[in-house]
Each structure stands twice: as C-alpha cells, then as structure tokens.
Homo-oligomer: A and B are copies of this chain.
Amino acid sequence: MLESLKNDVCLANLELKTSKLIIYSWGNVSGIDRNEGIVAIKPSGVSYDTLTPDDIVLLDLEGNVVEGKLRPSSDTPTHLELYRSFQTLGGICHTHSLNATVWAQACRPIPCLGTTHADYYYGEIPVTASMTNDQIETEYELNTGKIIVETFKNLDPDQMPAVLVANHGPFTWGPTPAKAVESAVVLEQVAEMAMKVAALNPDLKNTSQKLLDKHYLRKHGKNAYYGQN
C-alpha cells in the first residue's frame, strides 16, 4: 500500500547520503499521507546502501505498525508527535549534520545573518531547552517531539521549517519528504556560514526585519516573484 509515499520516503532518505549530511545509518526521513493518516519512515539502523522502498515502515499516527517487516526508526515517536501537532507537515527529516549539530550542541539558536538564511527561514532557527532528567528517563523520543512543539508555541512551522534540539541535532520539515531534506541541506549551509561570521564578528546581530521580509516573502507566500510560478 501507499507505494508512491514509500518510494518518495526512500528517495528522500537516500538523498541524505548523496548530500553528505549523514554517514553509516545515521539520520532518517519520513513522509505522511494525510488522507490515510499513515506515516512512512526509514527502518532503524539499516544501511543506505541497500535501502529500498520495500524496507520503509508504515505506521498510523499512534505508532502502530500497519506494514513492514522491519522495526521503524528509533526516532519515530518524535516524528509522530510533530505530525500530530503541526498539521501542514508532509515530511520530516532528522540528521546529525556537522554544522547544524554544532549549534545544537552549543545550545544556541542560529541568528539570521543574511539573505541566504532569509530566503528559507523567517527568523532565527530556534533551539529547544535542554531536556530534563525526567523527560529523558521515560518516553525520551516522544518528549523530544513535545519539547520541539513547546519551542514553537509562538512560531509558525510553515515559516520556520527547522529546529535544533539542544545537545542533539536538527529536525527539519516541509510539505514533502524531499522538501524536508532540502531544508536540512540549506540549514547545514546556513549553520556553517553563521559559525564563520561569528568568528569574524562575535557581536552577531540579526539582519533588519525589512531585509528578512523582503527575501523571505519574495520566495514565499502570495506575493512571491522568485521562480517560474
């Protein structure tokens, strides 16, 4: 069932390796069919070299496996919490990509320092609070999702398709699994740029609201004029 979704999710996972965001079996991408209420996700600890659409695991939004012989990603409860809370998400991606993970480990949000950032993210990339011992002790992966949702209480996930989980790494998303991966790739670029700007100019300031509006809105929303549509 849902062959097209499984295929998209498989391809998006393989793109993690092609884009050099992961090594070994690190990282995972999922997608959702909102009509069916079914999530497709990478199996846990499987090599990208052999991954095929048939390996993709299907679950309902409560985490019951509905198809698949393999165990789903250990991060599945995080994905499910995000799909339940953020209704517009079509795909979610998790990596330990180098530079985004560095900001997560430093427990610092990534300031918006220029138009490369503003073209994709409408403000600084938020970082979650560090998880408490209680949150880690039981239902750790579910609580990872909950702390992301908490971080977004005043943020629109459609305008901010990325978050840094403190001491851990990034989650990114988008309307499709492929777009979730694109956000992971761009986040990695933005994270590396910001780190180097911090070295040249430690007193970092976000760009002006006007420049942020200009660049974000020329690519997104009803007045966008970038691209062919």
Q: Kindly identify, within residues 123 to 182 of chain A, every residue whose CB is under 8 Å from any CB belonging to chain B.
A: 130-131, 133, 136-137, 140, 167-169, 182
Chain A interfacial positions (CB closer than 8 Å to B): 23-25, 43-46, 70-71, 74, 96, 98-99, 101-108, 113-116, 130-131, 133, 136-137, 140, 167-169, 182, 185-186, 189, 192-201, 207-208, 210-211, 214, 218, 225-228
- Please give, as numbers and ranges, the residues of chain B lying within 8 Å of A210 by CB-CB distance: 133, 136-137
Cα A56 to Cα B106 in complex, Å, equals: 44
The smallest C-beta distance from A141 to any residue of chain B, in angstroms, reads 9
The smallest C-beta distance from A192 to any residue of chain B, in angstroms, reads 6
- Please give, as numbers and ranges, the residues of chain B lying within 8 Å of A197 by CB-CB distance: 102, 105-106
* Chain B residue with the shortest CB-CB distance to A198: B200
From known contacts A193-B105, A200-B106, infer whether A70 and B228 are also in contact, taking CB-CB under 8 Å.
yes
- Please give, as numbers and ranges, the residues of chain B lying within 8 Å of A225 by CB-CB distance: 74
Cα A106 to Cα B140 in complex, Å, equals: 35
Q: Which 8 A-B pairs have the closest CB atoms?
A: A45-B227, A105-B114, A106-B200, A102-B196, A106-B201, A105-B113, A133-B210, A115-B168
